[in-house]
Chain A
Amino acid sequence: MFFRALIFFTAFLLACCSYAYAGEWPRFQADNRHTGASSVNFPSKDFQCIWKFRPAEHVFKYKRGSNVWSDSACIANVDGKDVVFIGLYNHNLYAVDAQDGRILWHFITGGRLDSSPCFTMVGGKPVVYIVSADRVLYALDARTGGKIFSYETLEWSYTVSEAVSTSPLVVSINGRAAVIFCIWNNDRAPMNNIQRGELFALDAATGEKIYSKVLSSVPLNSPAFSSIADKPVLFISSTDGRVFGVDARDGSILWEKVLCAQIHSSVSVNIQKDKIQVFVGTGFGNLYALDGHTGNILWAKKFGHAIYSTIAIAGIEGKVFIYFGSQDRNIYCLEAETGKEVWRFKTRDYVTSSCVIAKALNSTVIFAHSLDNNLYCLDALTGSRVWSRDTGKLIWGYYRGHSVNWSSPAVCAVSGRPLLVFPSYDGSVYAFGSSGKSK
């Protein structure tokens, strides 16, 4: 009886922690499973720029290892006001009014911000979490930007390098809200050399460490979360080509699968009845669907070039489809069950960021950005172009290929009005809305 009550209570807390009202986009790729799907419905397919936020005039030099110029935005309702949180290469986390793009506050960290922030309510307080390349996780009051706590994952020394961070998520562990994130720390000291891709679980309210677990000696990607037979499980891919299923309660490894090449794509999870599919793309261009219970390969498919985007998942007309971009310049849609290709859309450059899913005029659409500078809106069932917009050129003259995951769009509803937010590498954050008059 007690056991059942505990399960019920844990499930309830999990639901609360993942709670976001339909219009929010509280973390990387919308939710803990990284589906990238939102139920927001744009009133027309005619999108216009509503506001543009240009945070910094000063352009920092391109630095190798930098994941993005800006990370993907997270959007949440804070005390009745819709706020866009966005971390930048210039070390700042910005809170911007989703109505008009006005800056509300900013918080400066000690390093660049490559991974998305995460918003949640903890003890009735709106909190935003961000992991910085200065090796620290910050928990900030989402209303003011005031620091609630910070947690340093590795002490500073003269020989430490910039950390590689991932987007945090908040889950319930044994009845306790915990903020989960991965970070890669490196100390180049010859005598005390550290190369650690580590998973951390901290108390979401106090920052007290619950556990940490070293999974790899290389950087890890953002963790995804789902419950399997009442067991809370984290799914984490590692850049050395491995995927882990990890018990979220204590960090123990449930399964581990080595794939064909390096992985820069974060894992996403599809749940259908008792079946759990874990999707991940590799640098060799293979897309894998793994069994969430065992890590066994359900199906694998080869594409023309590296798949670095996180796979978006949507159920349409009773079928589940997956969406992703590849460095072979295509955006793909496959059937989740079998991997059968439904359509592909050719762009004119690499597609490395992730697709997001929403609705426009009641039909499902996807938004995706290509390095041909265009933000595309495609029909989710046919792949036909609905809309596209040039979002500007890269502020740097070049970048090192195969090391960059550019930012992805995010979708929300501001006072009931749908909004598409895209931090472009031209130095601006764009917000698009649709006019209500269909074309």
Chain B
Amino acid sequence: MNLENLSWKIIERPLLPIEGSSVDAFPFLALAALLFLSGCALKNKKLGLRAISQSISFIFFIFAVHRCFGAIRGWIYGIQEIAGNDIGVFYNLLVFVPLVSFSVIFGRVFCGWVCPLGALQELAFRMPVLKKLQVNLSLRAQRLKFIVLAFLFIFTVFLLFKLRPKTFFFVENIAAFWGLCLMLLTLIVAWKPHLDSRLKKIRSLSLILWIGLIIMDVYVTDPWCVLYGNVVDYSSIISLLAVLVSAIFISMPWCRYMCPVGSFLGKMAGVMRLEIRQKIDLSPEKISQLCPVEALGKSSIDRSSCLYCARCIQAKVSEIEES
């Protein structure tokens, strides 16, 4: 079996075709329903439902339908097509509109409860065999972690070199470059963990560059293209590998430093009606144990980083409030 012939999607044809076309309204409705139910569950503190929501989303978007999740690219393309191609507008705004509208009502439930890439990173970090490579290590082990990461970084660069297209090296490799940047940041944090909060600011730069490239008409791909689209896009494959490898060493690194969608949703924190508020002061050790992205602070939450995973609510450190 060749990589190119791998097909893992159960549903290939549209279930609810728009105007009889291949554009399917079903993923749109499924996403909206998942966001709504997750938002209600969070609001009513039914936090045990998070795992169920993540599992359904993971199975549905990765194994059932093939639906592009490029929300940022989607809204830019969608706006360009208004009054020109209604089906194209619908297709491109299919993810973005429910994402933004439900984020305003319920906060970033997409990140904490629905996003399959977020769930995948959580899984990678929790893999028991790899626990030893993670936090709270002795200085020697810390060095070992850095060396292993550095080796994997070099290997990924080599992979990019081996799989590079002959032309359009930059344009066709955006996702891979983003992945390599992430590995580099993970390396820095593995060496100097205290730089984490400063490096998080790079997320905004990532979003600005991402939007700039799309406006310049560069077709950017993401680490998730390979999973959601069931396509052999080498740039996306390298990027996904980079995310998963980094996620073994640091919890949710793509969400922390690079994710353009997460960064965009983080910028919306001010208008989100459902807010998570920290009630108890915490020590740095407790923060890194509790929060997957270390959004909890000594006494308040960094709202632009918080993924709404509700772990701190479960630990009775924070409360959910409507503003």
User: Which A residues lie at the B interface, using CB under 8 A?
Assistant: 62, 64, 161, 186, 188-190, 193, 195, 216-218, 238, 240-242, 256, 258-263, 282, 284-286, 301-306, 326-330, 344, 348-350, 371-374, 393-394, 398-403
Contact = CB atoms under 8 A, between A and B. Distances in A.
Contact of A304 (B4, B14, B83): B4
A19 B22 CA distance: 36
B5 A371 contact: no
B22 A261 contact: yes
A240 B3 CA distance: 27
Of all A-B residue pairs in the complex, the 3 with the closest CB atoms, nearest first, are: A241-B22, A304-B4, A304-B232
Contacts of B233: 305, 327
Contact of A348 (B7, B165, B231): B165
A362 B3 CA distance: 35
A282 B5 CA distance: 14
B22 A217 contact: no
B12 interface: yes
Contacts of B231: 284-285, 304-306, 327-328
Contact of A218 (B3, B13, B85, B219): B85
B21 A398 contact: no
Interface in B207-236: 216-219, 229-233
17 contacts: A64-B217, A161-B84, A195-B84, A240-B22, A242-B22, A258-B21, A260-B22, A282-B22, A284-B66, A284-B231, A302-B5, A304-B3, A344-B4, A349-B165, A371-B166, A398-B171, A401-B171
B161 interface: no
B165 A371 contact: yes
Given A242-B20, A398-B218, A186 B232 contact: no
Contacts of B171: 398-399, 401
Interface of B: 2-7, 12-14, 17, 19-23, 66, 80, 83-88, 165-168, 171-172, 216-219, 229-233
A348 B4 contact: no
Contact of A260 (B12, B20, B80, B87): B12
Contacts of A348: 165-166
A264 to B, nearest CB: 12
A375 to B, nearest CB: 13
A259 B7 contact: no
A360 B114 CA distance: 57
A305 B232 contact: yes
Contact of B87 (A240, A304, A402): A240
Nearest to A297: B13
A284 to B, nearest CB: 6
A265 to B, nearest CB: 13
Given A258-B17, A304-B3, A394-B167, A241 B23 contact: yes
Nearest to A332: B4
A190 B232 contact: no
A327 B17 CA distance: 25
B22 A259 contact: yes
Contacts of B80: 64
Given A241-B22, A304-B2, 18 more contacts: A186-B85, A217-B85, A240-B19, A240-B23, A258-B14, A258-B17, A259-B13, A261-B66, A305-B4, A305-B233, A306-B231, A328-B4, A330-B4, A371-B167, A373-B166, A393-B167, A394-B167, A400-B217
Grouping DSSP codes into helix (H, G, I), strand (E, B) and loop, the B interface class, with mixed when no group exceeds half, is: loop
B48 to A, nearest CB: 36
Given A190-B83, A217-B19, A402 B66 contact: no
A401 B20 contact: no
A217 to B, nearest CB: 6
B217 A398 contact: yes
Contacts of A402: 219
Nearest to B171: A398
Contact of A217 (B5, B17, B87): B87
A310 B227 CA distance: 27
A258 B3 contact: no
Contacts of A284: 12, 66, 229-231
Given A195-B85, A304-B5, A328-B4, A260 B217 contact: no
Contacts of A306: 231
A398 B172 CA distance: 9
A289 to B, nearest CB: 15
Nearest to A256: B20
Contacts of B219: 400-403
Contacts of A216: 21
A106 B165 CA distance: 36
Given A217-B19, A240-B22, A400-B219, A371 B87 contact: no
B85 A286 contact: no
Contacts of B172: 349-350, 401
A371 B168 contact: yes
A72 B221 CA distance: 29
Contacts of B232: 304-305, 328
Given A349-B165, A393-B167, A218 B21 contact: yes
Among B7, B20, B168, chain A packs the most CB atoms within 10 A around the CB of B168
Contacts of A394: 167-168
B20 A372 contact: no
A217 B12 CA distance: 22
Among A161, A193, A260, A344, chain B packs the most CB atoms within 10 A around the CB of A260
Contacts of A240: 19, 21-23, 87
B20 A188 contact: no
Contact of B5 (A238, A303, A373, A393): A303
B167 A373 contact: yes
Nearest to B3: A304
A394 B233 CA distance: 21
Given A188-B83, A348-B165, A349-B167, A258 B22 contact: yes
Contacts of A282: 22
A279 B83 CA distance: 32
A372 B234 CA distance: 15
A161 B81 CA distance: 11
A161 B80 CA distance: 12
A350 B166 CA distance: 10
Contacts of B218: 398, 400
Nearest to A371: B167
Contacts of B6: 302, 304
A242 B2 CA distance: 28
A282 B7 CA distance: 14
Nearest to A284: B66
Contacts of A286: 12
A271 B5 CA distance: 27
B22 A195 contact: no
A237 to B, nearest CB: 11
A400 B165 CA distance: 16
B167 A372 contact: yes
Nearest to B23: A240
A345 B172 CA distance: 21
